[in-house]
A and B are shown apart, each in its own frame.
Chain A
Amino acid sequence: MVTDKKRVKGETLLDIRGLKIDGYSDDVWNPIVKGIDLTLKRGEVLGLIGESGAGKSTLGLAAMGFARPGCRISAGTIVFDGMDLIAASEEQRRALWGSRIAYVAQSAAASFNPAHHIIDQTVETAVAHNIMTREKAEADARDLYKRLQLPKPDTIGDRFPHQVSGGQLQRAMTAMAMSCRPDLIIFDEPTTALDVTTQVEVLAAMRDIVEQFDTAAIYITHDLAVVAQMAHRIMVLRYGNLVEEATTRAMLKAPTQEYTRSLWAVRKLQKPEAISDDIALRIHNVDASYSGSLKVLDNVTVQVPRGRTVAVVGESGSGKSTLARAITGLLPPSRGEIYFNGKPLPRSLHERDKDTLRRIQMIYQSADTALNPRQKVRDIIGRPLEFYLGLKGADRDRRVVELLESIELNESYIDRLPGEMSGGQKQRISIARALAAEPEIIICDEVTSALDQIVQEEILSLLMRLQKQTNVSYLFITHDIATVRAISDEIVVMHQGKVVQQGPKSKVLSPPFPAYTELLLSSVPEMDPDWLTGLLAKRSKKVKAATA
């Protein structure tokens, strides 16, 4: 049995040399991983970090000797505990999978088979590979559920995947990976899809169980603060190449590469808070609901001063995006009033005149869906100029070029389609389109959350510069506390449709906190390897104090 084998710390478990992986797209093979060396010792946790397109997930799967359909391993060796995984037969690899190398995927909801009970899926490998009898495996699974702090560990396995929450399912998947006590677990962005307060619990449970069984792990993520809590050592990847490799503490203290530093670029942005009493937009006691039933906004009052940034922060389901829909008139409020420059704003979009519409603009989370893929930049930015300001022909084009320059793109972009630009460039075009209308308020709905850190930092800096130049107000909707710290003057914290707290940034971000703000703020991982340990200690102390 695998678990009987003596695990010697310091002995090499996984050794990858000169690995190259290609992916097939547009009828050609493009390199995804371009020659990576990686070694992992028994019991060690290695973090793989990088932004989109870094090849980290592909590399993580390759550590199991697996390549997704449409990918191929073109060069290099992968040796797991003395066994060459590339040379090995499929049967040999399959014998390792699940029992000695396990995988935890990003989306637990999609990775559990909807047709079987959770516990049946948890014990499947152990039973199929004859590692344990079914009874023993099920007892062990219940023990693992308990160790992972799942509620009702004795019965939760008898449920179906769609019957438990995302955070619980993610822990159940960790139990599934643990069931054969593997030597190595690959965690592939396991908390990316979770809300920040849920993420803490899952992280704690995963780290704890890996430590208990002294399992080696590869932890893949794009969030350096998360990986800092989990990994002993970190490799930074970019475009399939290794940028930097160091122990976690060394890397956080003194990264040698500029790129590594850029991974926490947003955290370094600072904006001095400025307060103003000149209110441009006032949302007063607003209720709103979809199809009349459940209130999505419950008595919400928010003020947006002129030339300032108000950040609305909350988790999914907090009603923050609905607030944007209520302001724009897409979802007329069922109660309350919205005042714009002191005058009540017509509730519905159709009742508003052109000039009112011009003054309130919106920027969306995903420029991919916000920009029409069949329109050129000239028309995307030019349309509001023509529609609101009556600019035509050469005048219009001249103004488009000016706007392009203000968002730091040159005039060569004027004939591009959205598909011909990068994510950051597309988001800049969205900003230019909003600016073209010369608005007083721009609602920014999660405008940076689909972007890589360094691009986020650039976009946020651009927005701040534009605010200085045009004195526009931003209502900035986000779930990311680092962004809130970076750009806001005032903060509104929302939870389940209600405003929990609001005020100037300095006030909201310093104690004393209302309970929810405290939970939210304390759940955001920090660039400190001891943060999670400290937080858990603090929380358990509090619980003890409360029960005493």
Chain B
Amino acid sequence: MHPVLRTVLQRLGLGIVTLLAVSVIIFSSLEMLPGGYAENILGQSATPETVAAFKRELGLDRPATVRYFEWIGKAVQGDFGSSYSGLSGSMKRDVSATIAPRLYNTFFLAAMAAIIAVPLSLVLGAMAALYRNSWFDRIVNSVTLTTIAMPEFFIAYILVYVLAVKLKLFYPNSTVSIGTPFLEHVYRAALPAITMTLVIIAHMMRMTRAAIINLLASPYIEMAQLKGVSKSDVVRRHALPNAWAPIATVIAFNLAYLVVGVVVVEVVFVYPGIGQLMVDAVSSRDMPVVQACALIFAATYILLNLLADIVSIVTNPRLLHPK
């Protein structure tokens, strides 16, 4: 087998194993509680009978392994079971149906932020690296160092205060629903998207700058200069072909960061995404929803890193052209 294919398959296998391990961790989190989840919820005054009845209602009376395989088997098909809330009522809320529209909203928001942030930070980061120690680089360095340290909600509320409340350019709350037209959706999601862009752009620029400086310090770059290769050709012919792996890593890292960042930003702007859903479910301790959200977040995270690693593998000349 070709080494590239072999390495990619190995990496894919590792990704699947990680995903399974993570699903076990997420599932078993419920089992780790000393005394059990049902007892904890009902409190110490509950009689054994009420605990048993509550467990039966939640389906917690069966062995954990059976429940795990049932859960993961259905989750693979996109079915996350029923929510705990409204259990005793006549209408059982379907977790997947609750999540689906919100997942769309979250990806919509993340995509908006990524479309602005990724190209902008790659270009600015590369420029800071190429003109390092210039005034441009120094300003970029101080500004990004300041912004990466700030909590998302600080940036968010400053933007709300200035752009929405004072200048009245946007709504302070980003309420959208299934019927919202595309452009209206874009407009309403603009403020959260700008917030997320500002948050990750700083990270991404710094990482891009560091990766490119590291690349430019390679002896073969100095050799190319000493061969009289023009500045643009040094970058285009000698740096770029070796830059895909570090750049892919930077992008994946930051998109993963973006996925986590949405939780806080959605709450600030009351944007109906999966992050807000998860926070609400945590407050009401609605475990099927919490676990489903956690699994989706973790899977996105794993998938992004997997993609970056595969880009690194297929652009590595040592693997592409074995001895």
Contacts and interface: CB of A to CB of B under 8 A. Distances in A.
Do A and B touch directly, given a CB cutoff of 8 Å in the complex?
yes
Interface of A: 61, 64, 66, 68, 94-99, 102-103, 105, 107, 110-116, 124-125, 128-129, 159-160, 162-163, 176
Interface string B210-242: 000000001110111111111001000110011
Given A94-B229, A176-B227, 8 more contacts: A64-B226, A97-B228, A98-B226, A110-B220, A113-B223, A125-B227, A125-B229, A162-B321
A160 B317 contact: yes
Contact of B224 (A64, A113, A162): A113
Contacts of A64: 226
B62 interface: no
A129 B228 contact: yes
Nearest to B239: A113
B166 interface: no
Contact of A128 (B219, B233, B242, B317): B233
Given A115-B242, A163-B321, A163-B323, A103 B223 contact: yes
Given A111-B220, A113-B220, A98 B238 contact: no
Contacts of B229: 94, 98, 124-125, 128
A111 B224 CA distance: 8
B323 A94 contact: no
A543 B323 CA distance: 30
Contact of B321 (A105, A110, A111, A160): A160
A112 B220 CA distance: 5
Given A111-B219, A113-B242, A115-B242, A124 B318 contact: no
A399 to B, nearest CB: 47
Given A128-B233, A160-B321, A94 B228 contact: yes
A114 B219 contact: no
17 contacts: A61-B226, A64-B226, A68-B222, A94-B225, A97-B227, A98-B227, A99-B228, A103-B226, A110-B219, A114-B220, A114-B242, A115-B242, A116-B241, A162-B318, A163-B321, A163-B323, A176-B227
A53 B215 CA distance: 26
Contacts of A129: 228
A97 B225 contact: yes
A160 B226 CA distance: 20
Contacts of B237: 116, 124
Contacts, number: 77
Nearest to B219: A110
A340 B218 CA distance: 49
B90 to A, nearest CB: 65
A124 B227 CA distance: 8
Nearest to A164: B323
A323 B226 CA distance: 43
Which A-B residue pairs are the 3 nearest by beta carbons? A98-B228, A97-B228, A115-B241
Contacts of B321: 159-160, 162-163
B224 to A, nearest CB: 7
Contacts of B241: 113, 115-116
A467 B296 CA distance: 70
B219 A105 contact: yes
Nearest to A115: B241
A27 to B, nearest CB: 14
Nearest to A66: B226
Interface string B98-117: 00000000000000000000
A113 B317 CA distance: 10
A68 B226 CA distance: 11
A105 B224 CA distance: 11
Contacts of A125: 227-229
Interface in B219-270: 219-220, 222-230, 233, 237-238, 241-242
B230 A162 contact: no
Contacts of B323: 162-163
Contacts of B224: 113, 124
Contacts of B228: 94-99, 125, 128-129
A75 to B, nearest CB: 23
Nearest to A117: B321
B7 to A, nearest CB: 15
Interface in B297-323: 317-318, 321, 323
Contacts of B222: 68, 105, 111
Nearest to B132: A69
Given A96-B228, A98-B226, A176-B227, A114 B318 contact: yes
Nearest to B241: A115
Contact of A97 (B218, B220, B226, B233): B226
A96 B219 CA distance: 20
A391 to B, nearest CB: 48
Question: Which of A96, A99, A110 has the most CB atoms of chain B within a 10 A radius of its CB?
Answer: A110
Contact of B238 (A105, A107, A113): A113
B16 to A, nearest CB: 28
A113 B230 CA distance: 16
Question: Which of B228, B230, B317, B318 has the most CB atoms of chain A within a 10 A radius of its CB?
Answer: B228
